[in-house]
């Protein structure tokens, strides 16, 4: 299947996002204990995520679920793939920026 490489690349990037999200969520917990981080959601609905959380891991889980659904289709839905890639890029970019700030 020609899209196998695309799926594998997405899985690798989701693993990176997962590891970074664990670190970022731990840092957010520290900030909250210190009286900071009084926000309710990391991403807005306009960024395409269904979940709303003040931690990163639920967003990673949403993308994992979306990728699983995508893999179960007989052929890759280009629109769903584009959305997933865009959301993953937004997540990784935000995690990177957060890491630089903390």
Tell me: the pLDDT tens digits for 76-97? 889 999 999 999 999 999 999 9
**Residue 64 and residue 7: Cα distance in Å, rounded?**
11
pLDDT (average), residues 18-31 = 94
Looking at the chain, how many residues does it have? 102
Check the CA dihedral 15-88-40-50 and report its sign: negative
pLDDT mean across residues, the chain: 91
Asked if the model's pLDDT at residue 41 lies above 80, the reply is yes
3-class secondary structure, 54: coil
């Amino acid at each position: 299947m020609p899209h196998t490489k695309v799926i594998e690349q997405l899985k690798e990037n989701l693993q990176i996002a997962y590891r970074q999200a664990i670190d970022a969520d731990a840092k957010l917990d520290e900030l909250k204990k210190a009286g900071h981080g009084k926000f309710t959601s990391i991403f807005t609905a306009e960024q395409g995520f269904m979940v709303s959380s003040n931690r990163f891991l639920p967003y990673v889980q949403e993308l994992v679920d979306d990728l699983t659904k995508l893999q179960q289709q007989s052929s890759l839905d280009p629109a769903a793939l584009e959305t997933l890639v865009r959301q993953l890029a937004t997540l990784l970019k935000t995690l990177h920026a957060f890491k630089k700030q903390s």
